[in-house]
Structure 1
């Protein structure tokens, strides 16, 4: 797979064929790794994407972080041009389907400055061990990462089959610090 479009198509298909039981087992392994990680335990302000469709389940992680009294922030898409804002939620019920059908905070959600985030858990379709990430193609997370603090831990969340030897990176793509897989 040479280009991002091929990688995106392949990984969507591969995630789509996981059985419910396989997905649950992998999601549980990732959940345990996250909540037991040093980054999670030491962070006060957490940013995480709200999973959708065949992505690994972040709903359980969000609920746990709220229970652990973390300041929990999730994305709210404004538009393709304006990107997204980072909004704090205090309970999972504050989320409703947004422009792309993905759960996100309401219009009146409390906007949080990107520089306050200690650890950011990021989606992607493919990653590599050098910090490369292939997202969904909108550039939303790359723009967010450019605004975040230099010491903010940027961690991709993925199933192990989503980690490739090398992914193509372009000049506007941001590198991440690590990946948590099953």
Structure 2
């Protein structure tokens, strides 16, 4: 299912290549049925749980899935002894991370994405043990194509610059190559379903 990224020398350059890649990946994800996405999400959650145990990661930033993304909420029940932090979006492309212990603590936030409620305590991003990154696409060596908002780019260039990063995606989101820019930070690892 892997393929080459559109070349950045095409008309419109790098931004156009990234837009085309995002469109292609959305099409691939749309071809997956809900049961397949759920099964792959559970497999990815099991792998993240094993990673957290192996590396003794206690404070882990994850995200509440948008449609078509890996669902990481099962981790709350799989490993209740860990601290799970979810992003809250602020003006200026800034994210803060707040501890969520169960699904009832979410509210509907920006772009109808589930976010931590007002009672969820914040942790400075630099104190996290691991940040699990969403993305439109990844390469096996950790290059990432985000969704274009720049929220994680801002975070990773600032307060969380030294925190280990794990990208998560469905296998159809893995590509051989991706167009990258100087500010794009690679994930330390990429976790997907079926990959050993």
- Partner-residue secondary structure (3-state), 1:37: helix
Runs of 5+ unmatched residues, structure 2: 1-5, 8-16
Task: Give the TM-score normalised by the residue count of structure 1.
Answer: 0.89
* Richer in strand (by share): 1
Q: Which has the larger radius of gyration?
A: 2
CA contact (8 A) 2:87 2:115 kept: yes
Are residues 91 and 21 of structure 1, via their aligned partners in 2, closer, same or farther at CA, if it must alter by over 3 Å?
A: closer
Is 1:59 the counterpart of 2:73 in the alignment?
A: yes
Change (3 A) 1:50 1:101: same
Residues paired across the two proteins, number:
178
The aligned runs of 1:28-177 (5 Å cut-off) are 28-37=42-51, 42-65=56-79, 67=80, 69-79=81-91, 81-146=92-157, 147-148=159-160, 150=162, 152-177=163-188
CA 1:99–1:59 in structure 2 vs 1: closer, same or farther (change >3 Å)?
Answer: same
Moved more, 116-125 or 102-111: 102-111
TM-score (norm 2): 0.83
- Shift of the alpha carbon at 1:82? 4.0
Query: Which whole-Å deviations, capped at 9, do the CAs of 1:35-76 have from their partners, x for residues lacking one?
Result: 1225665111110011111111111123333x2x21211100
Bigger relative CO (Cα 8 Å, ≥ 6 apart) = 2
Tell me the equivalent position of 2:11.
none
1:9 and 2:27 equivalent?
A: no
Q: CA 1:17 to 1:99, structure 2 compared with 1: closer, same or farther past 3 Å?
A: same
CA RMSD of aligned residues (A): 1.8
